[in-house]
Amino acid sequence: MSLTTTTITQKYHDAIVDWQERNFPELDILMKHWDDYFKGVPPFQLVAKVGGLKSNIVEVGQYAGNKRFEHAKEMVGNAFFSARDIVRAQCSTELGSIQQHRLTLDKAVSDKAKFAVLRIMAEELRHAYQMFWVLDQDPTWKKPGLGDVAKQTIEELLSMELGGHVLDAFNIDFNDFLDNVTYATVIDLVGKYQLDMQQVFSYAPMARSMGPMLQEEAFHIGSGRKLLKEISQMAARGEGDYSIEDVQRAMNLWFPRGLEMFGNEQGGETAVTFGFKDKRNGTAQSEYVEEVRGVVRNVNVAIVQEHIPSVSREEAHSLIDEIEKSRDPKRGIRLEDLIAVPDLKFFRKRGPEEVIFKPYAIRGELLTERGAPLSPDEYLRYLSTVLPAKFIGSREYNKYVDQMREYLANK
């Protein structure tokens, strides 16, 4: 598909370069060693990439059959701000992820892993730039009576710090390299689903931005999966800095936040109605869950093969099925030697009433004590046994506790 590159207004370009110098000074190291790690891949450039469209016609929702919108002002009523909110949330995830990855860059398991993360960070910076382009290339984001919505949004985004980003997943501080890796595996994967759905976006400049971003996301997800597998294989051999339990705890931390990035699984009509996405939240979320299960299964197969080198992939699959079903050890491999994808009800703070702030365990059972569901304090004690130790007591953990107490008090 055809692709052109472009830049944004100089003052915004300078502003994002300034942001990069403060939040991602390591970009220089990446550029200096690009060819050592990514020979044959065109070096990173801070530009907007404008891809082609499958068609000029809106594909879903109330405008289906109409020409796509070239100007923000054509989006009337709630659609205008709803589109702005999607661009803002998308851009916040890009900037937030750079701030998160940076915290533990020096804990990378190898130089290769470190440079993979540096490239991911650079590409997230480009994605933020891309969202600035969406706002900057169209003067009609400036609306009489509403002021310059593009300018307000860009300035707000540039001032966001960890803790102040739009989505919860982008406020959690990384504590070790397992966070970088698990995050690239399960959080970037949500990004892939969002970008994929947004290829239908009725506002054409947003739709044109999705293809090039999706291409880059493939590297992020691929790097995450590869490293997650390598770290788990090492853990199975008793090597490296991390145990299988550490991997499991990281999964328990990130997967629930990934689920919630889709929005309430019982909603999402509006985005479809406005022609911004082609799937409702629940549909996209289920597909995502299946994909994560496949990724984790692949890691488990590798773990089994570490324990029993002679076993075929097929045999490993049936062995895992048996262990997961019976929860009993088989051929020396215990349930806790494998990685589990947490149940969808575990550690939820957003979504359906039936699950949020309810004391569900990783494997989906409602935790009880003397026949009654665990109290908030008892559940927090449980969480401290299944989440990374350094997350407990952190800013985002405290936020969860406060929100839980407030939610339960208002019931």
Residues contributing to the site for Fe ion (CB under 5 A): 94, 124, 127, 188, 217, 220
Spatial CA neighbour of 111 closest among 245, 278, 242, 227: 227
Which is nearer to Fe ion, 114 or 220 (by Cβ)?
220
Q: Return the number of other C-beta atoms located less than 10 Å from residue 23's C-beta.
A: 18
Classify residue 6 by its DSSP letter.
E
Which is nearer to Fe ion, 189 or 236 (by Cβ)?
189
Minimum CB separation of residue 367 from Fe ion in Å reads 34
Spatial CA neighbour of 191 closest among 286, 124, 105, 102: 124
Spatial CA neighbour of 176 closest among 232, 256, 255, 247: 247
Rounded Cα–Cα distance for residues 339 and 269 (Å): 34
195 is written with which tokens? Answer: 């970008």
Which is nearer to Fe ion, 129 or 276 (by Cβ)?
129
Spatial CA neighbour of 92 closest among 147, 22, 150, 169: 169
What are the residues facing 48 on neighbouring strands?
A: 6
Minimum CB separation of residue 70 from Fe ion in Å reads 24
What are the residues facing 49 on neighbouring strands?
A: 5
Minimum CB separation of residue 187 from Fe ion in Å reads 8
Q: What's the N-to-C CA distance of the chain in angstroms?
A: 52
Residue 242 and residue 257 in contact, taking contact as beta carbons nearer than 8 Å: no
Place of tokens 């003397």: 370
Minimum CB separation of residue 191 from Fe ion in Å reads 5
Which is nearer to Fe ion, 94 or 260 (by Cβ)?
94
Residue 200 and residue 59 in contact, taking contact as beta carbons nearer than 8 Å: yes
Longest dimension (CA), the chain: 71
Minimum CB separation of residue 192 from Fe ion in Å reads 8
Q: Return the number of other C-beta atoms located less than 10 Å from residue 395's C-beta.
A: 13
Minimum CB separation of residue 121 from Fe ion in Å reads 9
Rounded Cα–Cα distance for residues 358 and 341 (Å): 18
Residue 66 and residue 147 in contact, taking contact as beta carbons nearer than 8 Å: no
What are the residues facing 143 on neighbouring strands?
A: 147
Spatial CA neighbour of 91 closest among 150, 172, 138: 150
Rounded Cα–Cα distance for residues 12 and 82 (Å): 23
Q: For 139-193, give the DSSP string.
A: GGGEETTTEEHHHHHHHHHHT--TTSSSSGGGTSPP-SHHHHHHHHHHHHHHHHH
Which is nearer to Fe ion, 220 or 348 (by Cβ)?
220
Minimum CB separation of residue 182 from Fe ion in Å reads 13
Which is nearer to Fe ion, 75 or 128 (by Cβ)?
128
Minimum CB separation of residue 127 from Fe ion in Å reads 4
Minimum CB separation of residue 51 from Fe ion in Å reads 15
Which is nearer to Fe ion, 79 or 195 (by Cβ)?
195
Which is nearer to Fe ion, 140 or 215 (by Cβ)?
215
Q: Return the number of other C-beta atoms located less than 10 Å from residue 398's C-beta.
A: 11
Which is nearer to Fe ion, 109 or 210 (by Cβ)?
210
Which is nearer to Fe ion, 217 or 246 (by Cβ)?
217
Residue 268 and residue 262 in contact, taking contact as beta carbons nearer than 8 Å: yes
Minimum CB separation of residue 188 from Fe ion in Å reads 4
Minimum CB separation of residue 27 from Fe ion in Å reads 15
Which is nearer to Fe ion, 98 or 109 (by Cβ)?
98
